[in-house]
Structure 1
Amino acid sequence: MDFMTSGVVLDVLRLLIAAVFVLMGVNHFVPRSARTMAAMMPPRMRGTGILAPLNLVYLTGACEIAGGLGLVFPPTRIAAGIALVVFLAAVFPANAYAATRRDRFGALAVPFVPRLIAQIVLAALILLVAFF
């Protein structure tokens, strides 16, 4: 059996991506991290009440955990993959906002173009492991 066609590579990649999303999602519930992520939201996207930045951080954390877990289970794999790609697009404005404020966000402020390329590559990998 050929290593590349045995599915081992896709299985390992799927588990790695799932683990990254679950761990990143859990990080959304760490108070210091959550406050920093809430500050990364562009002013035009800040709401109040249920749409307050910190609540959106918790929501996105839950989405990352659910999406990561969903990639692992065959019945939810495709839906989770699609949802994670939509998720990446939805959170990109916060990453773009942070990218212009490196003095405020430090290492989280990945420059815009590398962040965009990384998000596109990640989205492609998610779809690969979700559909195959």
Structure 2
Amino acid sequence: MAVLLALVLGSLTARVAGWLGVSYVNSWPSAVAVGLALMFVMTGAAHFAAGMRRDMIAIVPPRLPSPALLVTVTGVLELLGAAGLLFPPTRVAAAICLFLLMLAMFPANIYASRMPDAPASMTSDLGVRSVEEVVYLAAAVFVAVGGG
């Protein structure tokens, strides 16, 4: 829920700044790009925080190789994507790449929802996670299509 709040509140705060004259966020797509960047800084950093990292490694489906490496790579990609969202010339490409990354990582959420003893930080209901995922994907599409 904190991640969703970061997206929503970050986007709204950025848009208010735009209304107050900050040209960097003078449109909804650019404001949502800021909210998405905040969201991906949070999630990307979580890939390296000890407890969260352990939980993320635990939900990597067993058919995938090197869970710790996958968590590291996806964390780095999320942080790079966040930076890309904040740089207007790379914003659309970053939004598209993050959209694809979210799709690629969603099976871990499905796997976690089916685990008998999922880590405490990963126990959200799959229905809730799916709705949140649709919001994140829609935000990325909005930024990509809007050009931010």
Name the structure 1 match of 2:43: 24
Which of the numbers 55, 58, 79 marks the counterpart of 2:69?
55
**Secondary structure of 1:104 counterpart:** coil
Give the Cα–Cα distance (whole angstroms) in 1 for the partners of residues 125 and 142 of structure 2: 26
Segments ≥4 residues shifted beyond 6 Å? none
Q: Report the alpha carbon displacement of residue 8 of structure 1 after superposing the two structures with TM.
A: 4.2
Distance 1:38 1:107, change over 3 A: closer
Give the Cα–Cα distance (whole angstroms) in 1 for the partners of residues 107 and 84 of structure 2: 24
The amino acid that maps onto 1:18 is A
Q: 1:63-120 CA distances to partner (integer Å, 9 max, x unpaired)?
A: 1101111111111111101101100111111111111236432242222222122212
Name the structure 1 match of 2:101: 87
1:41-52 alignment, distance < 5 Å? 41-45=60-64, 47=65, 52=66
Q: State the identity as a percent.
A: 35
Give the Cα–Cα distance (whole angstroms) in 2 for the partners of residues 66 and 106 of structure 1: 27
TM-score, length of structure 2 as denominator length? 0.74
TM-score, length of structure 1 as denominator length? 0.83
Name the structure 2 match of 1:129: 143
The amino acid that maps onto 2:70 is L
Name the structure 1 match of 2:122: 108
The amino acid that maps onto 1:28 is H
Give the Cα–Cα distance (whole angstroms) in 2 for the partners of residues 75 and 8 of structure 1: 16
